[in-house]
Every structure is written in structure tokens, then in C-alpha cells.
Amino acid sequence: MKQVSDYIRTIVDFPHEGIMFRDVTTLFADPRGFRMAIDQMLHPYAGMQIDKVVGLEARGFILGGAIAHQLSVGFVPIRKKGKLPGTTISQDYTLEYGEAIVEIHDDAIQAGEKILVVDDLLATGGTAEAGIKLIERLGGEIISCAFIIDLPELGGRAKLEALGMEVQALCAFDGL
């Protein structure tokens, strides 16, 4: 029987030499694999109150939309700076090779709402940490952060857990 990790392709030396890129588009393209991933991502939260799912740009939108639909709750995107049309708040963060800024609409989350944060991959945790800070600034209560892939060597899980976050991942890959 196939597992989620079986649907993920590895592309060597992308985007540059020495990187083992974990490509989830092959998972998304397969109806059984995609359903399996969504079902498994939902499983730990059965019976829990979740008010909104927050997806991190960009593949977190694909997962977050599907999960929000299954839970019958709202979906909120966290996007790169300048992509949202309304009034936003922003958070800068450090990438492996520079800095970036993400934003959320300032009215997207109400104080006390229970939030599930979703993305495809947890590497260094920088994007997720920036998203967590935005959600907390709006008063949201994060119940968990869910990912398809964890890259443990890059320390993202430890970073998020140090912030007091519960972290779920469907699979892990060793090596960069």
C-alpha cells in the first residue's frame, strides 16, 4: 500500500546544486495521493474546534483550501508582501538566502478564533514562524501547525515547538 511519501518526487540539484527538492506537485496531481494527504492531515484534529485554516503561500493555499472545505470552516491566506488587496499587517522573516515579508488582512482573524496553520513543507520554519506571529497579533489561538513534509535537519520543527506550537507532519526526508 502506498504512503504519502511515495507520491512525492525528489528533484536533485534544484533550485541549485546540492539541494534535494521535494516536489509535492506529483502528490497533488494524483487523486488518491492527494485525498490520502488531506485525510491524514485532518485526522489529528477530528472533533477539535477549528474556526479557520490559514494557508502559507503558496502550496499551503492548495492544502488549506481543501482542509477548510472538509472542516466547513473559513480559509485565510498569508501571502507575500503586496499581494493582498485590503488593509494588511506584515511580518518580516529570514530565509536561507535573504529576507522576505508576509502579510495577512487585518480583519481576517478575530480574537479567540482557533486556527490551524497549513503548508506543504517545514524546513527552517521561518515562513511558519512569521505566519504564527501574524495570527497571534490578530488574537488567533493556534491549535496546531500541519505539514506534509518535515526536513528535520533544517530545524523548523524544533523552532516551532520552542514557540509552544504543536507540529504535525505526514512524512520526513533526510538530507537537504
Catalytically active residues are: 59, 96
Q: Which long-range contacts (CB under 8 A, 24 or more apart) does 134-137 make?
A: 134/78, 134/89, 134/90, 134/91, 134/102, 134/103, 134/104, 135/54, 135/104, 135/109, 137/89, 137/91
Strands 74-80 and 98-105: antiparallel
- Rounded CA-CA distance 125/145 in Å is 11
Strands 9-12 and 20-23: antiparallel
In 3D space, the residue among 148, 150, 167, 132 whose CA is nearest the CA of residue 59 turns out to be 148
- Rounded CA-CA distance 168/144 in Å is 7
